[in-house]
Amino acid sequence: MKVIIALFSVLLTLAVSAQTRTIIDDAGREVVIPLQAERVISQNDNRLTIPLIELGVSVVGSSGRVSDAGVPFMRSVPELTGVTFENSDIEFIGTYADLDVELITTLQPDLIVTTRDDQVALLEKIAPTIVFHANAYSIKEGMAKLANWVGRTAELQRLEDNYQRQLANSKMHIAELGDIRTNVIFSFPAGDAVYVYKTLGATTEALADLGIAQSDTVQQFPDRRTSIAAEAITDIDADFVINFFDNKPEATAARVREGLDNFMPRWCDVLHACKNKQFLFFPYASYGYGYNALSLNLDLLTTHIAGRDFTPRP
C-alpha cells in the first residue's frame, strides 16, 4: 500500500510539473512556463533570490558577487534567509551581468528569472525565461507577481498575513510620536558621494507603511535617487536620517561616518538629526527585496525611533 501511495505521489508531481500556462512578462513577452516551477535559476541575488527563497521555491542556481579573496557570495541573502552557497544546493552561476551559461544548462532549470531584457535571447535557449523588473514595483506588488508566476500564492499569503500583524503592532508604537519625518541616504567610506533616496527597497516601503513621511525637500526631488553636493548637505536633514553599513571591515558604520567627515567636514554640526543623535545606521540587508527585509525594518524603526527621547526638527 505504501509503495502504491509513493508511486501515486511521484506521478502526481510529474503531472503537475508537466502542466504549463502562458504569462506576459515585464518585457511584454508571452512566455509558456510551468504551472509550478521546481528548478529555478535566479539572475539577481538581492532582487530575485531573496524573494524566491522566501516563497519556498527550489532555486538551483543564483548569481552572486565575488569577495576580494575570490570567494563567491550572495549579497544580503544569508542575512535575510540564512541561505548561503555553502549551506545549500544553490550553485554560483556567475555575477548578475556575466552568467555562466554552460553551468546553467547543466542544472536543467525549468524556469529562469532575470531582471535584464538583454539576457533573454541567450537564456531562453536553455529554459523558459521571464523578465521581472523588480524596481518597477513595491516589494509587496513584486512578490505577488513572482508568487503567481512560480505557483506559490499560498506561501505569499502567509508572508503577507504575518507582515500585517507585525505592522499593526509597530504602528501602535510609532503613532505615539505624532508627525515625524525620516530621510534615507546612502554614502560611502571613501566620502566621494552622498545620495538621498525617495525609494530604496524595504526601508522606504516600511517607512511608508508606518505612515512616516520624508522631508518636504526630498519629496519634491523629481528622481528616485538624487546626488547631494557638500554645500547642500542640509537637504538630507529631517527628524531622523537613515544611512547604511556593510558586514565588511572597510564599510562598518564607523567607516561610513568617516566618509561623511571627508565629504563635508563638521557635517554633524549642521544636521539636526546628527546633533540630536537621531542619525541612524542600518545594515545593507535592510533594503533588500522581500518580506524578511520589510519585517527587519519594522523592528529597526520601532527600536530606534519609538519609545525614546525625540527632538523634532524645527
* Other CB atoms within 10 Å distance of the CB of residue 12: 10
pLDDT at position 209 is 97
What is the Cα–Cα distance from 178 to 57, expressed in whole angstroms?
Answer: 41
Using DSSP, state whether 130 is helix, strand or coil: strand
| Partners of 111 in the β-ladder | 40
Query: Which pLDDT tens digit goes with each residue over 13-61?
Result: 444 446 999 999 999 999 999 999 999 999 999 999 999 999 999 999 9
pLDDT at position 175 is 84
Instruction: Give the least confident one: 58-67, 126-135, 303-312.
Output: 303-312
Average pLDDT over the chain reads: 93
Query: Which pLDDT tens digit goes with each residue over 242-296?
Result: 999 998 899 999 999 999 999 999 999 999 999 999 999 999 999 999 999 999 9
- In this predicted structure, the answer to whether residue 206 has a pLDDT above a threshold of 80 is yes
The end-to-end CA distance of the chain, in Å, is 75
Residues 16 and 98 in one domain: yes
pLDDT at position 12 is 47
- In this predicted structure, the answer to whether residue 224 has a pLDDT above a threshold of 60 is yes
Residue matched to cell numbers 509558456: 32
Please tell me the pTM assigned to this model. Answer: 0.90
Query: How large a percentage of the chain has pLDDT more than 90?
Result: 89
pLDDT at position 15 is 47
Query: Which pLDDT tens digit goes with each residue over 105-141?
Result: 999 999 999 999 999 999 999 999 999 999 999 999 9
CA 31 vs. chain centroid, Å, equals 25
Q: What cell does 258 get?
A: 568617516
What is the Cα–Cα distance from 55 to 107, expressed in whole angstroms?
Answer: 20
Which CATH number is 27's domain given? 3.40.50.1980
Where a domain ends, among 151, 171, 197? 151
- Does a structural domain hold residue 156? no
- Does a structural domain hold residue 313? no
Residues 135 and 208 in one domain: no
Residues 144 and 169 in one domain: no
Taking a C-beta distance cutoff of 8 angstroms, is the pair 130, 117 a contact? Answer: no
pLDDT at position 18 is 62
Residues 44 and 135 in one domain: yes
Where a domain ends, among 151, 183, 210? 151
Closest CA to 291 of 49, 44, 51: 51
- In this predicted structure, the answer to whether residue 150 has a pLDDT above a threshold of 90 is yes
Residues 214 and 169 in one domain: yes
Q: What cell does 72 get?
A: 563567491
Residue matched to cell numbers 538551483: 60
Residue 259's alpha-carbon distances to 22, 267, 283, in angstroms, are 50, 11, 16
Residues 76 and 210 in one domain: no
Residue 297's alpha-carbon distances to 136, 195, 288, 304, 309, in angstroms, are 20, 20, 10, 10, 20
Residue matched to cell numbers 527632538: 311
- Does a structural domain hold residue 312? no
Taking a C-beta distance cutoff of 8 angstroms, is the pair 239, 313 a contact? Answer: yes
Residues 6+ apart with CB under 8 A from 79: 247, 283, 284, 285, 288
| Helical segments of 127-282, H only | 139-150, 153-174, 201-209, 216-219, 253-263, 267-270, 272-275
Domain containing residue 25? 2-151
Residues 51 and 131 in one domain: yes
pLDDT at position 11 is 47
Q: What cell does 97 get?
A: 551581468
Residues 37 and 145 in one domain: yes
Mean pLDDT of the region 68-79: 95
- Does a structural domain hold residue 272? yes
